[in-house]
Structure 1
């Protein structure tokens, strides 16, 4: 009896996107941005070579999407309408990818009018009917509907396996119900609507309760609540949705796979060595050429090479100036420290090492309360150690006492001459501080290295290791589970926890060795990185300080808001002529369009009249009811997000709120604030501004707020070099009055308040790339008048016009723009064939250098001010950063010093062509300090 045969199907379209986004920006001629992009090609070679080595198969095919429309576009013209066009740098690599996959021995399938998923589905069913085992390699969850006793999906990038049990565990439904599940949830990527606000949990619950989508539809009237209403609104759509998400398994592949149903036409073949060598030389893959030249080396030599250099026989991952290829060690040595003898050995290693990768495992993601469960270190690649100190599951082995471990580590941790690195070091700083240790000597943060080098890509350690090392690791959810079934790290078995923790430190060290040379090779990027490292230190101090919250004031505001919200409901009922749910789009739609006959502004994907925010704002211009609903929504959000919750987020002992500043999120370099978000407190309404009254100073102190004046306009003057703008700022003229004088042709002292308002909208609007249409809408004038204002603006400020044109042209040439200080802001859509997307990228090209430079300036200010506060041993504390504003808690005895010195320091951090100006105010609370 022979063994069962296997068919291996590769989702080539999924693979090539992952290769493109995982790899650095490699070029055929290293360092030449005009030469062909090669990153996706190189990544594809790595992935296909590794897959062939790891999975043995009798038959195989790599399946790609063909260009052009498919049959689903005929069924539903909006199919995939929201999907971004393929980046030009990826499109140029498609043909070479197809070519090299064939040269590697893989049959390549690309069927016109048929998506890759449908080709895979058809071949999988054809093979399964013949008793052939099918393995599909893809990260696409949509293929889970194909899984059965013969078909399994593997994701080699993260080690995930989706068999029947795996699919059921991951999605809460078996593969046989995945089509129904996908229909309910929808597919945002492919622009296939599901049931509004129905996510994976609700979909799985419904299918478990009603047995199938058909069963659910038959009893749709029984489903309660808003979800039930949303379900009933799309009953007519669901059959079409199911049709769109269903992978076909009966496609006509004649002419593409010879001899079907026999699979002999897609047998995997040998690599074409000579042709591969020519291909590799053409695209500059020098290390791959060398590996091919060793093709005739005796097997024993190849084995020796693999043992010495890792699984790929010493092939470097990248060929790029300033990039040091890091190979995965084949023999990892990970120690678990359960005895003092081994601890002392490792402590000696830490003391003598030039650089140590350091990581903590903790009880919480909230850094202000997290406690240490274990600590890992790595000093050399492939070697790491884990000290468990807080695992508390039954039969856990005896561990070294946490307090004594930390006491012995404290001198090394607090020694600034002992250099350390980590991934997101600010979090670990807080964790150690929770145990009374102020870590010194952090020299590097791999998250920030990635943020500076490749701001447009993910910065998590798993992504970095995969992208730069070709390494995959243990997933946290595989270790601890997820959702309601997730266990705390303290209950993870120590042997598994040690492997995971050691791997983190080991990979962090390896990633640093890959990224740091690239930063060293570029003076401007190195400056930005050093600024980010210094900012991380300052943010740690700000977060640690926190801001005092007056809970009774918030409670009083919540009570007032609650009364106003109830009054608005009654006013809305009166205008509608009936009670209705102000939070129900369906009921609002019925009142607006059926009862009151309001005009339909736009429709939802299912064809119903839309009542989204944009529609309400448009209707509110002419009708009172939409305005009431908007006010109701705004006050409800203010109450629910801030006045009800801020007091609850305060630390119970200190009464202070400690926000978390995310440093590696915004592509412009701006910081974001979370838990709570202090940067989004609305200030355009009186109610929103009043929330700031609850941010108070303790007795004997006051709040000070210092912010830059017209910072982005000053940056525009500096970058553009426009003489009129420069003169206005140098002479201290109100720049909006100056603009009004230029645009309206009047003397500056004759400018009216209305003309100044128009000029202010023009000044800021053009910074953000506003069109004449947008300006007309903002000013309430016609397009012709708005276009005339813009023409006159550019005639008076030709330097601004030249800057905008030159910036867009340069961005299209190199793919990014820079701040004054060298921060790179990438624009992947700048050459998009899609007009609106390209236009958005062009507007970003104009604005991003100004937003990014403003972000750099406030970071420079934060760092400088904190340095001076420390050097002079001042009692003043920096407690918040909000956009271009720094907020302080100031002892009354230091008010005059702060009044003079903080604005001076902020204005002196950079030498621009125009003077920087910072203004400061004081008060008992944040609102009064403005």
Structure 2
């Protein structure tokens, strides 16, 4: 498979943050002419590393603009304590900008606006479009931007921070970071805060009250000197909050979609590198490598847990003659195991055509067989059909063992040419994933760097970047061959390294051999079969949404007293704040009244027009993301939607999907459920959905051996009602709907590490009452508390926990000096065995069901796997037989001390079946 990544997050680089850190952290460097270059080298090294780690991602560099910004208008003492920028640093800024531009990377500097606010705006735009974003920064303030789609990364320390990481580091959630910063203040930026209020005090207050407003409301109750300081700061705290808030609605000249990489200007780069005397970079350019780093230039540190292999000499052959090809066929047929890879025209496995194939039998000896390069002047190549016909018996032979990197993709593209890949003996992506799922990346480039200390040829090195990037068939064979042959060579070497790691951890071998590897052809089949989608129904839904949007537009016009563009912030500002004179809750960095979504939500509580605008925006997003987009994803050849499932993404072992993401199709709203109604059964068939019921709670009962939980599940009781009866001290038949809802929150909340504060917010009681519920829960279910204590201790001893089947979930922070990080790791230790075991069980069920369907030759097939649910397409007259068999195979996927219960449904569409 091409090493170009399937998942491509947007990277937003806080250039100003790294400018100062590089200047102070790295030793001073000076050219022969006296020009300082230490910060230049540090910042550019960081960017080069990002290009290496994320070769397919859009990387955008953002710097602060010169001079003051809107925060100085709010508070003239803002950053007043900062000393002037050292001249040695100032003189390096322009060279950094010039090098970035020559590298072809977008550089954004917005007058009167800080880099934080530009980053916040771009990250918010990406999130609204469902695009994952990584913000590369060392700035703690950025933690307020972290969300399900936004992660922070400190490139200098290689530490990533997601939502759990923010809670772990600061003791508060991303949503509370601004409140936290307002209380603590910032001496560097001169944000006032509360004198003597440190992080522990701020966390304590926010844990008690939730928000800054609530802390201020309860200031009279805080005793001692700190309480006096809090009360004396009440007037300035709203200002501190504003100063700490990153703006997310900056007006930019270009939106995310318009910001693109340019071609690398090697001539300009060479001149700059010579001017600033970066000899190693000059050498790299001379070798034709504009982005690679050298060990001396890298700021990264190697993982001490790995022992990189020494570099070996390589001999890569480009196979252009029949004699050479026959020689390789002979080698492959005699080999006990060979590495295999395809190079294709597309990452879309349904559309991809094979351009060439590569092999490796012995490390360092590899070959590339091109047959689809069709650029002008391409040399004569072997015939594609002849090569594939010759390979077909070998590739379809179960006894001929193959190793690859993400062979599911290769299996799918080979199917486009009538070849069913068999003999999948090893997959390096899955080996790496099973060895340590906490690794953030399991792509070949990252694994080669980690385990072999080898910098691979990147796809962009030979294909270019952005809109001008070439497809593989258009790349010169002289460039394509070393890249492709290296794929096979590195795959074989990685397998040798990773198989050794697996052998040293015997409990992981069954996870790899019995769960992950057998799943590869099953998922490939599910992907290729796809799901039938009613484009007409989606079109009807789009029309109805369009009608509702027009209706909302008319309502908005009536309320405003004039027609206007509901999607225009400027026109909304005029209508809201000039014509209707609504209160200004927040301002943009340029001092204009904000119309961002949080502002609209607050205004909608009291005014009708903002409420209409909110509904308009929500339905507009549903229309553009689902009802308009899904029909465009229907494959014209099959008439079906073909998602991509990913085995090596989540830390717990769960599958994820993309293009489209089936896991995120809405189910809680009526409009969202109607999207599921468009996933339909073909004529003569039904959809059968089978979903594990409360699987994680059942696993908790099994792991904890709590008598109360075991009895509740064994007797088939409503476990939430049973919990409510225990916690609230009433008879089961007297449990109210609200009590059951609260008990459900307790059952699920505790296994996810929810605090009394979190529970109180969810079920709308005070914290003391919530704590009493938790205490009573543990009194009634002491085995659960014992399990939690036991697993915490085990995690501290082993630094990992395991699923029921031996999958390891590492906890690198479990013995951290930072107490909050330690506690977050403990919560993960409690929950991960349940989530991971549930993931293993659904995977084992998929293997069982697939084997049964294949052997029975029943006219039924799996078409989707979503969370704990399997969806099958079944011939109408076989529904009862298949449903019975499906129940048996899923419920027998694991043996627990409580029944594994599966709920099934049948319908003409997914919503009916679910």
* TM-score, scaled relative to structure 2: 0.69
- Provide the secondary structure at the position in 2 that maps to 1:447: helix
Q: Once the two structures are superposed, what CA deviation does each residue of 1:727-781 show, in whole Å capped at 9, x if it has no partner?
A: 1001111101100110111111222222212211221222222222222222222
Cα distance between partner residues in 2 of 1:541 and 1:130: 58
The number of residue pairs the alignment matches comes to 696
Please state how far the C-alpha of 1:662 moved relative to its aligned partner.
Answer: 1.3
The answer on 1:390 being equivalent to 2:412 is no
1:139 to 37, 42, 45: 45
Aligned pairs (5 A) from 1:173-322:
188-191=136-139, 229-230=251-252
CA displacement at 1:800 relative to structure 2: 1.6
Q: Is 2:77 the counterpart of 1:171? A: no
Correspondence list, 1:588-599, <5 A = none
Matched with 1:366 is 348
- Contact 2:26/2:38 (CA < 8 Å) preserved in 1? no
Shift of 1:169: 3.6
- Structure 1 residue aligned with 2:682: 698
Partner of 2:394: 412
Aligned to 1:446: 428
- Whether contact under 8 Å (1:336, 1:498) holds in the other structure is yes
Answer with 668-677 or 576-585: which moved more.
576-585
Give SS of 1:421's match: strand
Distance 1:848 1:604 in 2: 41
Aligned partners of 1:917 and 1:339: how far apart in 2?
A: 59
1:873 corresponding residue in structure 2: 857
Q: Distance in 2 between matches of 1:783 and 1:605?
A: 37
Cα distance change on mapping 1:619 and 1:795 into 2, 3 Å: farther
Q: Note if contact 2:308-2:453 (Cα within 8 Å) is conserved in structure 1.
A: no
Counterpart position of 1:651? 635
Runs of at least 5 residues in structure 1 that lack an aligned partner in the other structure: 1-75, 84-112, 154-160, 200-225, 233-262, 264-316
Query: Residue 437 of structure 2 aligns to a residue in which SS?
Result: coil
Instruction: Give the one of 336, 341, 358 matched to 1:376.
Output: 358
1:769 correspondence with 2:753: yes
The aligned residue for residue 30 of structure 2 is: 124
- Provide the C-alpha distance between the structure 1 equivalents of 2:865 and 2:39, rounded to a whole number of angstroms: 58
Q: How far off its partner does 1:228 sit?
A: 7.6
Once residues 710 and 803 of structure 1 are traced to their aligned partners in structure 2, the CA distance between those partners, rounded to angstroms, is 19
Which has the larger displacement, 711-720 or 770-779? Answer: 770-779
2:28, 2:36 within 8 Å by CA — same for their partners in 1? Answer: no
Specify the SS of the correspondent of 1:880.
strand
CA deviation after TM superposition for structure 1 residue 792, in Å: 1.4
Number of the residue aligned with 2:447: 464
1:782 aligned partner: 766
Indicate the residue corresponding to 2:203 in structure 1: none
Matched residue of 2:691: which SS? strand
Change (3 A) 1:780 1:663: same
1:478 aligned partner = 461
SS, match of residue 696 in structure 1: coil
Tell whether the 8 Å contact from 1:649 to 1:657 is kept in structure 2 after alignment. yes
Deviations 1:182-237 (A, max 9, x none): 9966875134889x9xx9xxxxxxxxxxxxxxxxxxxxxxxxxx9983579xxxxx
Shift of 1:579: 6.5
Match of 1:562 in 2: 546
Given the alignment, which residue of 719, 725, 729 partners 2:703?
A: 719
Question: Does structure 2 retain, via aligned residues, the 8 Å contact 1:519–1:525?
Answer: yes
Q: 1:751 to 1:357 in 2, by over 3 A?
A: same
Distance across 1 between alignment mates of 2:896 and 2:699 = 8
Give the equivalent residue in structure 2 for 1:428: 410
Where do 1:636-715 residues align within 5 Å? 636-715=620-699
> Is contact 1:877-1:889 (8 Å) kept?
yes
Deviations along 1:665-696, one digit per CA (max 9) or x if unpaired, are 11111111111111111110111111111111
Query: Do the aligned partners of residues 141 and 124 (structure 1) sit closer, same or farther apart at CA in structure 2, a change above 3 Å counting?
Result: farther
Spell out the pairing of 1:580-595 with structure 2 (5 A cutoff).
Answer: 583=567
Q: Take 2:757 and 2:604, find their aligned partners in 1: how far apart are those partners?
A: 20
After superposition, the Cα gap between the structure-2 partners of 1:637 and 1:132, relative to the gap in structure 1 and judged at 3 Å, is closer
Deviation at 1:327, TM superposition (A): 3.2
Q: Provide the residue aligned with 2:510 in structure 1.
A: 527
Match of 1:920, SS state, is strand
Relative to structure 1, is the Cα distance of residues 564 and 450 closer, same or farther in structure 2, using a 3 angstrom cutoff? same
Structure 2 residue aligned with 1:491, among 474, 484, 494?
474
The secondary structure found in structure 2 opposite 1:420 is strand
Matched residue, 1:276: none
- Residue of structure 2 in register with 1:348 after alignment: 330
Q: Distance in 1 between matches of 2:898 and 2:142?
A: 51
Query: What's the CA shift string for 1:366-417, capped at 9, x where partnerless?
Result: 0111001110000010100110001112221100000000000000000000
Once residues 548 and 823 of structure 2 are traced to their aligned partners in structure 1, the CA distance between those partners, rounded to angstroms, is 42
CA distance in 2, matches of 1:620, 1:345: 74
Contact 1:127 1:134 in 2 (8 A): no
User: Structure 1 residues 334 and 924, CA, compared in 2 at 3 Å: closer, same or farther?
Assistant: same
Match of 1:916 among 875, 878, 900: 900
Provide the C-alpha distance between the structure 1 equivalents of 2:600 and 2:496, rounded to a whole number of angstroms: 53
Does the aligned pair in 2 maintain the 1:706–1:918 contact within 8 Å? yes
C-alpha distance in 2 between matches for 1:628 and 1:510: 60
Pair 360,684 (structure 1): closer, same or farther in 2 beyond 3 Å? same
- Deviation string 1:456-484 (CA, Å, 9 cap, x unpaired) is 22111011111101111211101100002
Greater relative CO, 1 or 2 (CA 8 Å, sep 6+): 2
1:87-126 alignment, distance < 5 Å: 115-118=21-24, 123-124=29-30
Range 361-370 or range 132-141, more displaced = 132-141
Matched, 1:822 2:779: no
Q: Distance in 2 between matches of 1:797 and 1:830?
A: 26
- Comparing 667-676 with 137-146, greater Cα deviation is found at 137-146
Quote the RMSD (CA, aligned, Å): 4.1
Q: CA deviation at 1:163?
A: 11
SS of residue matched to 2:510: helix
On the 8 A contact 1:819/1:850 being kept in 2, the answer is: yes
Instruction: Name which of structure 1's ranges 495-504 and 184-193 shifts more when overlaid on structure 2.
Output: 184-193
3-state SS of 1:764 partner: helix
Give, in whole Å, the separation in 2 of the partners of 1:418 and 1:618. 65
Contact 2:816 2:822 in 1 (8 A): yes
From the superposition, tell whether residues 582 and 119 of structure 1 become closer, same or farther in structure 2 (CA, over 3 Å). Answer: same
Q: Which residue of 1 aligns with 2:488?
A: 505
Structure 1 residues 687-696 or 433-442, which shifts more? 687-696
Contact 1:572 1:628 survives alignment (8 Å): yes
Higher Cα Rg: structure 1 or 2?
Answer: 1
In structure 2, C-alpha distance between the alignment counterparts of 1:894 and 1:686, rounded to whole Å: 31
Q: Indicate the residue corresponding to 1:889 in structure 2.
A: 873
The CA deviation at 1:363 is 0.3
Counterpart Cα distance in 2 of 1:422 and 1:502: 13
2:727 corresponds to 1:743:
yes
1:544 lines up with 2:528 in the alignment: yes
Alignment match, 1:283? none
Contact 1:324–1:514 (CA<8 Å) still a contact in 2? Answer: no
Distance 1:164 1:737, change over 3 A: closer
Judged with a 3 Å threshold, the aligned counterparts in structure 2 of structure 1 residues 680 and 319 are, in CA distance, closer, same or farther, namely closer
Instruction: Return the TM-score normalized by structure 1.
Output: 0.68
In the TM superposition, what is the alpha-carbon distance from 1:924 to its structure 2 partner?
1.2
SS class of match (1:704): strand
Unpaired segments of 5 or more residues in structure 2?
1-13, 50-60, 64-85, 121-134, 151-247, 255-276, 278-301
